[in-house]
Amino acid sequence: MPTAPSARRPADPLDLLQLYRRVRADTARLAAPLSDADATVQSMPDASPAKWHLAHTTWFFETMVAVPNSPRYRLFDDRYGFLFNSYYETVGARQPRPLRGMLTRPTLEEVAAYRSHVDSAVETLLESGPSAEVLDLVELGCHHEQQHQELLLTDILHLFAQNPLRPAYRPAEPADATQEAAAEPARFHTFGGGIVEIGHGGDGFAFDCEGPRHRTLIEPYALADRLVTNGEWIAFLQDGGYRDPLLWLSEGWAKVQADGWRAPLYWEERDGEYWTMTLRGMQPVDRKAPVVHVSYFEADAFAHWAGARLPGEAEWEHAATSPAGRGLRQLSGDAWQWTRSAFAPYPRFAPSPGAVGEYNGKFMCGQFVLRGGSCATPDGHSRASYRNFFPPSARWQFSGLRLARDA
Ligand SMILES: [Fe+2]
């Protein structure tokens, strides 16, 4: 939900129509390389089939926008609410999440027809001078769909990584000739402490959990000017990083033992070299590139090993928005950056009334905040106040880290 729907200017209906069409077309384009089989299989309970993402984002517009606001709207199929509701208790019962891969029907083609049906209704509504409340819901639906665009990619990558053929979702690019060189050493930028303001307070769209803007106290700190690289991660694992319990949180060490973690997710050792599964198939690990597919537990252990720590989310946001932070690279577009901040409500946060109030607020337990944005995040989707969140053991997102220190 927008931070304060009543307090900010609603989006222009024509701008929103354009955004709606662009987002919907982007999703269809992301799914275009997939067969019906690719789009149906679910590789683990945390990941959803691409077909489910295509239908669920459509169900969101149907349920939150078309049904309550278009009196003549006809449901495409009254059974789809059960299939494609994700977690909205106020809306009704649903297919259990771990069983989303059982939906061999409807077919991919039928889901495409469902998308067109709902598109017509939403576009007609946007052309008919809708209320500010409808505009806010369509805008929320567009940003919701962009979140699922990234999940569609991370879930396809996880699925394809389970296939011994290691299929490529996109054609491979020629290898970078400089990839064996080491990255420039990270430089730490120091920031003064004090009472700072963080959180979304502007006029544009933000999810409800990004606000309210508020004051918070931070001590002086330093942040690395770039993300931790694969080369640095190789040094960590070759130094026994995954074998030393003193580096790990207790719960993280238990995961290392139980799941046999020895490297980031998707890494494989072949003749002494590290390879990794990517959307372009198996590729040699690029030592200069930011490490991705590491959990909070791994990021935290690495930071201990490096004599540093993870940043707090207020430190990250303060640095990203202050003039002193101009020298920081890779703030967005490479990897989501784990912070040591639990995903919790900001002071004076209150979820919106109704079904959309279930969007973020009820997940504020047992998860950590990631800042920035990844290579799979749609352009323009993230912002400095954006709070992504995942459980500390999650590895299948494009999640990496930036080191911090006390100053
Ligand atoms: Fe969703």
List C-alpha distances in Å: 243 to 265, 286, 297: 16, 24, 14
Ligand 1 center–CA 89 separation, angstroms:
13
The alpha carbons of the chain give a radius of gyration, in whole angstroms, of 22
Could you give the CA distance from residue 145 to residue 123 in angstroms, rounded to a whole number?
Answer: 16
Ligand 1 centroid–CA 40 distance in Å is 17
C-alpha 86 to ligand 1 mean position (Å) = 6
Neighbours of 267 (CB within 10 A): 18
Tell me the β-bridge partners of 217: 195
Chain segment 124-163, per-residue pLDDT in tens: 999 999 999 999 999 999 999 999 999 999 999 999 999 9
Q: What string of DSSP letters covers 65-130? A: IIHHH-TT---S-TTHHHHH--S-TTT-----GGGGGG---S-HHHHHHHHHHHHHHHHHHHTT--
Confidence check: pLDDT of 6 > 50: no
Using the mean position of ligand 1's atoms as its centre, give its distance from the Cα of residue 347 in Å. 25
Cα–ligand 1 centroid distance for 216 (angstroms): 30
How many angstroms separate the alpha carbon of residue 56 from the centre of ligand 1? 7
Q: How far is the CA of 257 from the centre of ligand 1 (A)?
A: 32
pLDDT of residue 396: 98
Gap from CA of 349 to ligand 1 centroid (Å): 21
- Mean pLDDT, to the nearest integer, of 246-265? 98
Instruction: Quickly state the pLDDT bin for 180 (edges 50, 70, 90).
Output: low
> How remote is the CA of residue 22 from the centroid of ligand 1, in Å?
18
CA distances from 394 to 95, 243, 343, 369 (A): 23, 20, 14, 12
**Mean local confidence (pLDDT), 343-358:** 92
What local confidence, expressed as pLDDT, does residue 3 receive?
Answer: 39
Is the pLDDT score of 284 beyond 80? yes
Return the structure tokens found at 211. Answer: 């606000």
Would you place residue 176 in the very low, low, confident or very high pLDDT band (cuts 50, 70, 90)? low
Ligand 1 centroid distance, CA of 151 (Å): 10
Q: What is the pLDDT of residues 32-65, one digit of tens each?
A: 999 999 999 999 999 999 999 999 999 999 999 9
Give me ligand 1 centre to Cα 169, in Å: 23
Q: Indicate the pTM of the whole model.
A: 0.96
> By percentage, how much of the chain surpasses pLDDT 90?
91
Ligand 1 centroid to residue 166 C-alpha, Å: 28
Q: How far is the CA of 324 from the centre of ligand 1 (A)?
A: 36
pLDDT of residue 145: 98
Residue 57 CA to ligand 1 centre (angstroms): 6
The Å distance, Cα 238 to ligand 1 centre, comes to 39
Distance 148 CA to ligand 1 centre (A): 7
Is the peptide bond between 106 and the residue preceding it cis, with omega within 30 degrees of 0? yes
Structure tokens at 323: 């003039």
Distance between CA atoms of residues 221 and 339, nearest Å? 14
The label of the residue with tokens 């607020």 reads 361
